[in-house]
A = this chain, B = another copy of it.
Amino acid sequence: MRIVIVGSGSIGMLMAFYLSKKGHNITLLTNRDEQAFRLKDKGLHIIHHDQQIEVVTVHAQTLLTYTNEESIDVAIVAVKSYQVEQVLTTLQELNVKSILFTQNGMGHTDLFPKVEKEELSVAVIEHGALRINDYTVHHTGVGQLRWSYVRKKDNDVQVMFGNREDSLFPIQYEQNWLKMLERKLIVNACINPLTALLRVKNGELVENQHHKRMLRAVFNDVMEVLKFEHHEELWVHLCEICQRTALNRSSMLSDIEHNRQTEIDSILGYLMKKADQEQYQSNLLTFLYHSVKSQEEF
């Protein structure tokens, strides 16, 4: 299949590698000319968990110069949540059948009604991936890619992911896209702002008993807002993720350490809006939101 991936950070490169290995025709759309040149010149490199390096050939071009005559089967949007709106404007004009979003948080879901494509889906990526340079991604932890249809037409996304099991890149279909995103939102809302505030790795949140109580307080407040059932099952899930990614720095902590904009608006901003609609005053989420905002300098 012909696939374009918009955004060539760690997630964009990771998906480009595994989809290329499945035999798809991949084009990575970059922000900078230089990155497109390097990806074409050097090939896309992946460093596996066991430090083995593998290289695949990909097409690459900047998003702004890209045009297509032949139809694209799937466009994967792998930019940060706050860049989605801008990318969509460009994407609407391209000959694309199906769009898949991979963002954290829920901010981008507000844009779904504006997407003029008949097939639309979302994915959450529970992998550890670290961008090393313009053409190399380090796959630090194997997790799941979960995905779900928001609107279904020709099964393009299903065909793209295929049926074969891949132990390094397992793929899981989910029935309810909203519940799937909200479940990921809970994880992001609990882990990301707290690691950014305390400047600790994910594992610290469950290894230190006081930090674990802080994590639980945030979790309780998120549950109040989302009115989720099965609290304790979710709490166990959250703690397991902290343990499994113990040595990782969360994306939000990493963004703050590198003076990049964070995805706080798409994560806690969404929850605060939801709390507001239900006239619930969430002092802790407001507190956490501003603790991240006060650290953002980009």
Where the two chains meet, the residues of A that have a C-beta atom closer than 8 Å to any C-beta of B are 197-198, 208, 210-211, 213-214, 217-218, 220-221, 224, 281, 283-284, 286-287, 290-291, 293-294
Q: Give A224 to B224 CA distance when docked, in angstroms.
A: 17
Could you say which of A211, A220, A283 has the most chain B C-beta atoms within 10 Å of its C-beta?
Answer: A283
Q: How far is the CB of A205 from chain B (nearest CB, A)?
A: 11
- A213 CB contacts on chain B under 8 angstroms: 286-287, 290
- A198 CB contacts on chain B under 8 angstroms: 291
Q: Give A218 to B224 CA distance when docked, in angstroms.
A: 18
Q: How far is the CB of A227 from chain B (nearest CB, A)?
A: 15
- A291 CB contacts on chain B under 8 angstroms: 198, 210, 214
Q: Give A217 to B275 CA distance when docked, in angstroms.
A: 14
Contact of A283 among B208, B220, B290, B293 (CB under 8 A): B220
- A284 CB contacts on chain B under 8 angstroms: 217, 221, 283-284, 287
With A283-B284, A284-B287 as known contacts, state yes or no: A294 contacts B210, CB within 8 Å.
yes
Q: Give A198 to B294 CA distance when docked, in angstroms.
A: 10
Majority secondary structure, A binding face: helix
Q: How far is the CB of A160 from chain B (nearest CB, A)?
A: 42
Q: How far is the CB of A140 from chain B (nearest CB, A)?
A: 27
Q: How far is the CB of A159 from chain B (nearest CB, A)?
A: 45
- A281 CB contacts on chain B under 8 angstroms: 220
With both beta carbons as reference points, the residue of chain B lying nearest to A208 in the complex is identified as B294
Q: Give A286 to B210 CA distance when docked, in angstroms.
A: 10
With both beta carbons as reference points, the residue of chain B lying nearest to A216 in the complex is identified as B286
- A210 CB contacts on chain B under 8 angstroms: 290-291, 293-294
- A287 CB contacts on chain B under 8 angstroms: 213-214, 217-218, 284, 287
